[in-house]
Amino acid sequence: MIERIPMHDTTPMSRTFDAIALKEMDPALLALAVLEAAERASISGGVLRQAMNVAALAHIDQNRKNGIKNPEDPYIVHPLRNVLRLLRYGCVDGDVLAATALHDTVEDQPRAVIELLSDHPTSDEDESLLRQLASRAISDTFGERVSNIVAAVTNPINDSRDGNAVSYRDHVVSVIDDPGVFLVKFSDFVDNAGSVKHLDEPTRTRLSVKYAPLVQDFRTAATTLGDRLNLPQSGFDDIARHLDELEARLPADKSDPGNLESSSTAT
């Protein structure tokens, strides 16, 4: 499956980048592909590069279970894949791309964000306060819109801890009426739900039940938002195709998802 990025001009090198499946790329290749695609789309690379730097450093001690080529990958492959996926959809919104790179930092590594972006590192252990300070640091560095998008896609603290699938779905549905939030959250959903097939059976079953109901929610939101997503037709086609693929892959939700155990593999 080749995801496309609509461009005015392409070269043999750019076409080679575009032909590589996202999950076949290591962190270095992903970073290069993102910057190359952003340059082709005439997107200012400075802010996006800085967001990628913050994400890479914030997540430096995290790994992500994928089961594709290696049992685990550096966590940064996940946000970088999400950014490149949006570029291949035709997204040219620099704030959305920066927020995509940063989308898990406040939830997973708020202290690292504060230390990387603020002159006043905190020793506070209160998770809620750490998230507030991290969001403020992102706002001061990248602007209020980027910070607001990251805050919107950040799972509430209680949901992060107990993995309640109903609460997770309610949260997602409540935020994806905003076009920028939709794009960040949808790319995240595609990467997470699309990775389920590579996991062990118990985890795959648990997460499939968690993600399956959201396919229709994203389909409805995409239709409602329409042109507000500011994507070319090829981007809408790719969104529809990804939803169709996930709908076919994820089993129908026939169980009660109210108390599913959370997984650090895909959130």
- Contacts of residues 6-11 at CB distance under 8 Å and 24 or more positions apart, as own/partner, are 6/90, 6/232, 6/234, 6/235, 7/40, 7/41, 8/40, 9/40, 10/40
Q: Locate the domains of the chain by residue range.
A: 15-249
**3-class SS of residue 254:** coil
Q: Return the CATH architecture of domain 15-249.
A: Orthogonal Bundle (1.10)
- Structure tokens given for 48: 């996006």
* Residue 69: predicted pLDDT: 64
* Residue 92: predicted pLDDT: 97
pTM (2 d.p.): 0.88
CA distances from 226 to 140, 149, 183, 233 (A): 31, 19, 12, 10
Number of H helices, E strands in the chain: 15, 2
d(CA 87, CA 260): 33
d(CA 150, CA 104): 8
Beta bridge partners of 63: 74
Give the torsion through C-alpha atoms of 121, 122, 126, 130, to 10 deg. Answer: -20
* Residue 159: predicted pLDDT: 65
* Residue 145: predicted pLDDT: 99
Kindly report the three-state secondary structure assignment for every residue of 169-214: HHHHHHHCCCHHHHHHHHHHHHHHHHHHHHCCHHHHHHHHHHHCCH
Reading the chain (267 residues) residue by residue, the pLDDT tens digits are: 334 444 546 789 899 999 999 989 999 999 999 999 999 999 988 999 999 999 999 999 999 876 566 778 999 999 999 999 999 999 999 999 999 999 999 999 999 999 999 987 778 789 999 999 999 999 999 999 999 999 999 999 876 544 577 889 999 999 999 999 999 999 999 999 988 877 778 888 888 889 999 999 999 999 999 999 999 999 999 999 999 999 998 875 434 333 222 233 333
Distance of CA 125 to the CA centre of its chain: 26
